[in-house]
Structure 1
Amino acid sequence: MRHTATSLLLAALAISACKSKGSPGPTEPGPTPAIALSISTGGATVVQGGTTPVSATLTRSGGFTGDVLLTVDGVPSGVTGSVSTPVTSGGTTSATITIAVAASTAPGTYSLTVRGTGSGVAAVSAPFTLTVTQAPDFSLAITPGSASVTQGLTSTSIAVTITRTNYTDPVALALGGTVPAGVTATFTTTSFTVTVGPATAPGVYNLSVTGTGTPGTKSTPFVLTVVAAGSFALAITPVGGVSVEQGTPNSSKTVTITRTNYTGSVTLTAENLPAGLTAEFDPNPTAANSSILTLTATGAVAPATYSITIRGTGPASLRAPGGLESLEATTTLAVTVTAPTGTFSLGLALSCGAITILQGAVDDSRVVTINRTSFAAPVGLAVDGLPAGLTAGFASSPTTGTTSRLTLTASAAVAPGSYNLTIRGTGPALLRAPGAPNAILASVPLTVTVAAGAAATPDVLDYDFATGLMGWAPGLSCPSQAQPDWGAVIVQEQMFVMNGRGPAGN
């Protein structure tokens, strides 16, 4: 440790000795001249850049009136001392020694000595312990120290580390340097993000992150690279127009997105659509490179060819005034709407169109057939003209199949009598708008006779396998007919006995 001496010269007042008048007598030995030194404290703690006062008291005795030199020995580099104007009263002189610690002085504990020396007297000293502590301070660091941000977008989070020494007060963070127009930073206590406006010029900017607190303003370098936003283009694949049949969704087209230095989302919309023609995109918005387009035309759309526009746009914030025109693209598609080319008709799978059903009985022998001609859409089935107490249901409705079993249920309260009903089939509702083709509507008549209930007694049904003639017992549904469908035998909550005769092979 390098020691330097900080000296203090105290001007002592000369005190004249009292002498008696007359002839001198014998000379007697006088008191021994001496000085004594005391300080107000044996030590102090001083922060770097700070000061501390120490009161010193010097006492003369033995007739000593000379000057005394005060020095501080053992001081480290950067520590100095200064003395205020001394005050002398009698043989005592008081002064204040101000010890100043430079900001560069290394923290630590130092053993100092305050020493007093004079001519003709023995030197005196007083120990003093100086503890130097580090000044309140902080430093900044960011990770990473640079960021590359596309026009109109925001950077990922950048970590900020504040290293504190004897300092707990807030630190105000900011983006420093020559910040380009359109660039802003959002800080938390531990991180920040940088947002680049769509009009900020691409380039490399040497900036800094600054922190301001009581110890001052600190900074650390930050390099921002602004990248041009890029662009994207749209196309329809497969190439060419598309034909959409009324009532049948068409998902044969895909919107492809070709990106150039752009990874953000794209929102797709369809424009110039006629009323009744809709367009859906999946997914939408999309950060991928394609989206499936589904077109659906109702019966309200007149068959014709329509030119529609597919538009893709980037985030709305990028398309504000002064934003990026490159983040918007369009393409066109010719859509030809056609009327349904197929038809269908209805029929009963059994040969007789009349049914007799007892009160309280259930008839599920009838199968409705749907005869389709190039018509694949679902067909909904219903029965019109039902009286109170007679209900009808179908095994499947709507159905894309070719058959559906009809079940008639007569309650005990339904009035006996014959009822002329209609089995109605309809295509999808979107095809049945005003002006829709008749081909999507079909019907078949059905007569149902409800008979009063009878006791459950066995009925005998004779069937001749050789001639195919059947004799119907009372209460069954059809009159005698040739070669009826075996499924036409209806029990209707009665018992029957079938007597068959004919070749054994039948």
Structure 2
Amino acid sequence: MKAWLPFLLSAAVFTSACSDDDIVNPSNTLGVSLGQTASAVVVGGNTTVPITLTRGGGFSGSVNLSAENLPTGVTATFTPATVDGASTSSVLTLTAASTAAAATSTITVRATGNNVTAGTATLPLTVSSNGLTLSASATTAMAAQGAATTIPVVINRIGTFTGDVTLSAENLPTGVTAAFSPATITGTNRVTTLTLTAASTATAGLSTITIRGAGTGVGAQTQTIAFTVSPSATAGFGLSMSPAALSVQAGQSVASAITIARQNVFAGSVQLAAASVPTGMTVTFTPNPAPGTSVAVTVATTSATAAGVYVIPITGTSTGAANYVSTLTVIVSAP
């Protein structure tokens, strides 16, 4: 019996080390594809990359995502970092610290799961000290079939870059169109409004739309928006703003307008309210509550309003309908 003891102990150790999670089923497959063939990020900024997973051979489990070979000063986050078996998408955000060095590298996105060989995809990444950053005030948006929604978009020019920035939208779902006002941000201007319009025949469901900002001589920047088209059969309403991004000098006023898109048989008045309004600023709506489809918006500032970029949620409420939240971005400059 003593002669068999070492063999039994070795077998026990081997068995415990090899759990079911370590066994790879050769028929299971896991693929990773990226929404960009190359990416660029400006020092102090960030950019986003859509990720799509492909499961095959009977594999239907959760997938963990990670990034490898990141350059110094660049971090990666995934939303979500673990993709459950019912989902196939995530978004990678690459952020370059202010201390990151300008460089070009190739990062690897790795997807792992139980009982399946890991899937990988590579992405050339350029870190630059000159360029632009791009930010949308909302990372999620919704419009009913036959309605529209608006999203403010703000750019920052960094380093020696002073050129025009052209905006575009990619990966639009069937029946959805995108329009920027303006489509090119010129001079010292920094804001534009993206309007997403869903036709009455638009496919209902969730999709990931990519906003791209491009300038001559600098790397393009992208941001993603999780956009939902809801069926028009449900009574309710949506809000769209024009423009959805405003610039104003402290002590002055500026105007915008809200269009209320009414769904199905909804005919109620909509009460509007603004949140996160900074000191010295007021936001008023006329009329409020709104019985029709048009509302005038006035943003007034005083000398006490500090310079900065403010994202102000605008919430509409009405009896018998779900609340709807839109956003208004206000850039205040010093007097």
TM exceeds 0.5?
A: no
Give me the TM-score of the superposition, normalised by structure 2. Answer: 0.36
TM-score between the two structures when normalised by the length of structure 1: 0.25
Query: Relative contact order: is structure 1 or structure 2 higher (C-alpha 8 Å, sep ≥ 6)?
Result: 2
